[in-house]
Amino acid sequence: MGSMAHLAPILHDDALTRNLGDEEARILVEWMIDWAERFTAEDPATGPERIHRLWRRGRALARFVSLWEAAEHGAALQLAASEQFDGPLPNGPVDSCTLMQRLLRFESRRISEQAA
């Protein structure tokens, strides 16, 4: 795999997974690493910029999930609006792992469509 320097923003940011359960954190970090490696392989010149945007989006998604899990739905929806989440948002109780997986599936589609 070569240098892992491109993964530093993801691997060394404790705030990225703060307030998430172990499973949600694992799902998010694995998803982010997968995309970061793709970005670097596709174009090493633009990889760091794309990884930074991915890191920022990952933090927002993690915060949304933690707010939703804490039943802070109003704050979560306000965050979703300010971060311009386009995907389907929950309208009631949902398991936090399921929520994270749904959000990341939509984000993967969004990233793929932007690249096309």
pLDDT for res 3: 56
Distance between CA atoms of residues 68 and 103, nearest Å:
12
- Asked if 106 contacts 99 with a C-beta cutoff of 8 angstroms, the reply is no
Structural domain count of the chain: 1
pLDDT digits (tens, 9 = 90+) for 39-73: 999 988 888 899 999 999 999 999 999 999 999 99
For 40, the domain range is 5-115
Distance between CA atoms of residues 68 and 48, nearest Å:
30
* Three-state DSSP state, 72: coil
pLDDT digits (tens, 9 = 90+) for 12-48: 888 899 999 999 999 999 999 999 999 999 988 888 8
Strand (E) or helix (H) holding 35? helix 22-42
Q: What is the mean pLDDT of the chain?
A: 91
- Asked if 74 contacts 65 with a C-beta cutoff of 8 angstroms, the reply is no
